[in-house]
Structure 1
Amino acid sequence: MILKKATVLIVDDDPDVLTAVKLLLKPEAREIITEKNPENLNWLLQRNEVDLILLDMNFNSAINTGNEGLYWLRKVKEWKPDVCVIMITAYGDIDLAVRSLKEGANDFVVKPWHNEKLINTIKDLLDKKEGGTKTTKTPVKSTAGDTSILGESDVMQDIFYKVNKIAPTDANILILGENGTGKDLMAKAIHERSLRADKPFIKVDVGALTDTLFESELFGHKKGAFTDAREDRMGRFEEAQGGTLFLDEIGNISLQQQAKLLTILQNRQVTRLGTNKPVDVDIRLICATNVPLSELANENKFRKDLIYRINTVEINMPPLRRRNEDIVILARHFAKLYASKYLKPSMDFDTAAMNKLKSYNFPGNVRELQYTIERAVIMADDNTLRPDDLIFSILETSTESVVDADNIPLSALEKNAILRVIEKHNGNITRAAKELGLTRTALYRRLSKYDI
């Protein structure tokens, strides 16, 4: 169906949003219907042949669930299963919006949206509907950007979808995850998919900077501002002008450094050491840390107002042990990469070697897997990698790193882990899935698989 023949229903309790979308779509669609109260949805759907609904995620209505958008989405799918639904969400509700796709939404848009992109999204959905294409979940690629972030697991597919949505915006992003999970690669991938991709991508490991170096490195200095300041120097904020500034290990900076960073982010201006002249900066900020968000929330260690500034959207990079199904694709990717680098023939793994990889806990995550495969490729005698070629890092001190696959089947380990986490959360599937690094759907599949 073409948009010119379509009836579009917009449901949002913000009159400004209703007016803006109506003015945008009026020249494009056959009919535009606007509604502030979602409780009138059923009445409207009974009296109108609606082809597509733009539905807000949050309402101040009688249905007070904390995620009213999902409630009304379910109702719409109950009343009119075939109608296309696009959820309207704010930056902070990206995770909820991704969840809406599993509830039957066709797509979501983030406020403030780009008008041309919104129109194209609506047109694409209506075209797919006309062609009979299933649109309950927007297809996603198994890589983010041009970097080597690979994964076929449900948790990684959710992350890839989120990246596709938030990368073109200017939302500040906080990437969380253990060491070795690929936080820096994800930051680079977001930049490459952003509207700033042709501008600088500047990375700073702020956790390693002293207070003096912190200001000089980020804000720059004038000649003579301090001992050894022999010339003017531009700070990283200015270097990243128009592009992306990536602050790694943000969780390790001092409260004093946090206060200075907060001031810059609020004012969008930097002042070089040794001068009083502020310089306007236009950057997209991405931060990363291996410190859990629950620990960052301790105001004795980290300012909550700064967390809100840097955490418009958060991305949780799962540890490799919680995306076990990705080990095969990652291992083969690294084998191909290093065979080419070291001028060796194409390599693959025998069954025992692959079983050894899948049975290991990888406390060093993807980085440890990468170095393990690189070592194996270098030392291998032929083009088949065997268990003896795979030597895991002695630098990782986890007592649970190596699993004896001959004595304990991997399936039994996974089943026991699921049982422990579900018991820990008193049967709450949502919380258990989050701790396991799985979606609810993936966890339900495992419950069925293990007859739990």
Structure 2
Amino acid sequence: MARRILVVDDEPGIRSALGQLLEYEGYDVRTASNATEGLSEYERFRPHLVFMDIKMAGLDGLEALRQLKQSDPGALVVMISGHATIKTAVEATQAGAYDILEKPLDTDRILVLLRNALEHVDLAAENQRLRETIETRFEIVGKSFVIRSLTDQIEKVAPTPARVLITGENGTGKELVARAIHKHSPRKAKPFVEVNCAAIPSELIESELFGHMKGSFTGAVQDRPGKFEQADTGTLFLDEIGDMSLNAQAKVLRVLQDGVVTRIGGQRPLKVDVRVVAATNKELEEEIANGRFREDLYYRLNVVPLRVPPLRERREDVPLLVRHFLALLARQDGLAPREIEDAALQRLAELEWPGNVRELRNTVERLLILASGPRITLGDVERLVGRRALESGGLGALTDIGTFEEFKYAAERAFLVAKLRQYDWNVSETARALDMPRSNVYKKIERYGLKREEA
């Protein structure tokens, strides 16, 4: 689609010459012979850029510019002047003009300015799109009591400098809560830096957090700032902090106490101003009792505790989440939007979601891609998701079973499937969590005919 350009000038020769040049370059051009007409035409035409003469009979260009910027702050206006002075240029700039051109107009200058101005338009639109995507991406969706309580707590703690410890199961949205805290804090315009403590090898976590100097260890080929430095004046989110090594915990504690970091191999302490928000899916009290987490660090982090509820405690939010993900994923993946039947929503709300909101999101994406018609139906859910309520341990489905033996069989099968999913079908990890020999887990998988679901 051609870009729209509006030319406002009381000289017919200027309107004609400039209009012909722009049309030849492929732009959709409209003209106006005075400022009042130009303002009206702007509302109808909504151009990407306006060329406006400064000196015109009646309402002059500078006053028209002020009115235009008041009604549309994003308007891109280039002023045209036959005898521009520094004073005029300053006035135009202060009123919000993008640039000013002097008569007689130079063709090459016009085309260069146009290219730069429209790149500015594209960049502004892309930034707006990204902001909207980020806002949607980190929106906490739900109207249940537990979610409303959580958002109330976020609103209270976010404006303060207090450290926050977020707890909750995998997939519940702990990162969303951390980002919401940052977004509503006085530090929102500053960096938000995330560190997944579980994903970084223990021998590298200190370098990641505190940085290092060139030559301080094999592979340190240049000086590198750590995450604490990168988050200076902003927020540092330590995700899965329960998996951090005790040695790294001691150094984090020191930073929280003193507000300074020292890079590995460095001698000079660096002052940092960082708000720390931490998260974990572990019971840190148990970790402390077992000697795997420092009690003093726990109390430093746990100034304000926030618990993110699992999806089973907020089933009434499932329909809202499903519709939210359908719209978000369709836009994100460039897919056609789809409606969903009420019966399909009801079934999804009845199912068990051991992977919580993350698992629900992945399931919605599967339905969006693979559902056969323009609407997602109950049949699509049955076909593509299956009888998850029974398999994942939903008590409502289990109580419909006839005999006690059948109940025991279904319950054990559901429990095992839930644990296998929790550990991404890693049999060794599942056996360790269940305190069961790995061979027994394999036997039960074979007995119940369990297979990992296809994505």
TM-score by length of 1: 0.55
**Structure showing greater Rg:** 2
Counterpart Cα distance in 2 of 1:399 and 1:357: 13
Choose 206-215 or 343-352, whichever is displaced more: 343-352
Query: What's 2:393 paired with?
Result: 400
Q: Does 1:272 align with 2:272?
A: no
**Structure-1 residue corresponding to 2:172:** 181
Aligned to 1:208, the other structure's residue is in SS state: coil
Once the two structures are superposed, residues 93-149 of structure 1 have per-residue CA deviations (whole angstroms, 9 ceiling, x without a partner) of xxxxxxxxxxxxxxxxxxxxxxxxxxxxxxxxxxxxxxxxxxxxxxxxxxx997221
Corresponding residue to 2:303 among 299, 309, 312: 312
Aligned equivalents of 2:207, 2:302: Cα separation in 1: 24
Secondary structure, counterpart of 2:289 in structure 1: coil
Deviations 1:379-426 (A, max 9, x none): 122231113323349999974169649948xxxxxxxxxxxxxxxxxx
Separation in 2, partners of 1:405, 1:336: 33
**Structure 1 residue 183: deviation in Å?**
0.5
Tell me, in whole angstroms, the C-alpha distance in 1 between the residues paired with 2:182 and 2:225.
22
Q: Secondary structure at the match of 1:204?
A: strand
Report deviation, 1:189. 1.2
1:332-366: CA deviation from partner (whole Å, max 9, x where unpaired): 11112223334444422223211211111100100
Distance in 2, Cα, partners of 1:191 & 1:157 = 18
What is the distance in 2 between the residues matched to 1:246 and 1:339?
Answer: 29
Residue 332 of structure 1: aligned partner: 323
Query: CA 1:264–1:285 in structure 2 vs 1: closer, same or farther (change >3 Å)?
Result: same
TM-score of the superposition, structure 2-length normalised? 0.55
Q: Look up the match of 2:60.
A: none
Seq. identity, % = 44
Indicate the residue corresponding to 1:237 in structure 2. Answer: 228
2:248 counterpart residue number: 257
User: Do the aligned partners of 2:169 and 2:310 also contact (CA within 8 Å) in 1?
Assistant: yes
Higher helix share: 2
Alignment partners' CA distance in 2, 1:399 and 1:213: 37
Q: Partner of 1:245: helix, strand, or coil?
A: strand
- Tell me how many residue pairs correspond in the alignment: 266
**Which amino acid in the other structure matches residue 393 of structure 2?**
E
2:353 to 362, 370, 382: 362
The change in CA–CA distance for 1:255 and 1:406 in structure 2 (over 3 A counts) is closer
Distance (Å, rounded) in 2 between the aligned partners of 1:256 and 1:393:
46
Is 2:198 aligned against 1:216? no
Residue equivalent to 1:192: 183
Runs of 5+ in structure 1 lacking a partner? 1-143, 409-452
1:350–1:396 Cα change, 3 Å? closer
Shift of the alpha carbon at 1:295? 2.1
**Contact kept in structure 2, 1:175 and 1:316, CA below 8 Å:** yes
**Structure 2 stretches of 5 or more lacking a match?**
1-134, 402-455
Distance 1:172 1:290 in 2: 17
Letter in 1 for 2:182: H
- Mapped partners of 1:179, 1:245: distance in 2: 20
In structure 2, relative to structure 1, the CA distance for the partners of 1:329 and 1:228 (3 Å cut) is: same
The match for 2:193 is 202
* Pair 1:246 & 2:237 matched: yes
User: RMSD over aligned Cα, in angstroms?
Assistant: 2.8
Q: Give the drift of 1:255.
A: 1.8
User: Residues 52-94 of structure 1, C-alpha deviation per residue, up to 9 Å, x if partnerless?
Assistant: xxxxxxxxxxxxxxxxxxxxxxxxxxxxxxxxxxxxxxxxxxx
- Distance change >3 Å, CA 263–CA 145, structure 1 → 2: farther
User: What is the correspondence of 1:335-350 to structure 2 with a 5 Å cutoff?
Assistant: 335-350=326-341
| Separation in structure 1 between the aligned mates of residue 322 and residue 243 of structure 2, nearest angstrom | 32
Distance in 1 (alpha carbons) for counterparts of 2:203 and 2:284 = 27
Q: What secondary structure is seen at the aligned counterpart in 1 of 2:236? A: strand
Following superposition of structure 1 onto structure 2, how do residues 99-118 of structure 1 map, counting pairs within 5 Å?
A: none
Pair 337,398 (structure 1): closer, same or farther in 2 beyond 3 Å: same
Matched-pair contact (CA < 8 Å) for 2:353–2:392: no
What does 1:48-87 align with in structure 2 at a 5 Å threshold? none
Match of 1:298 among 277, 289, 308: 289
> CA-to-partner distance for each residue in 1:300-359, whole Å, 9 max, x for gaps?
121111001111101100000001110011011111222333444442222321121111
Q: Which amino acid aligns with 2:221?
A: R
Distance in 1 separating the partners of 2:299 and 2:252: 13
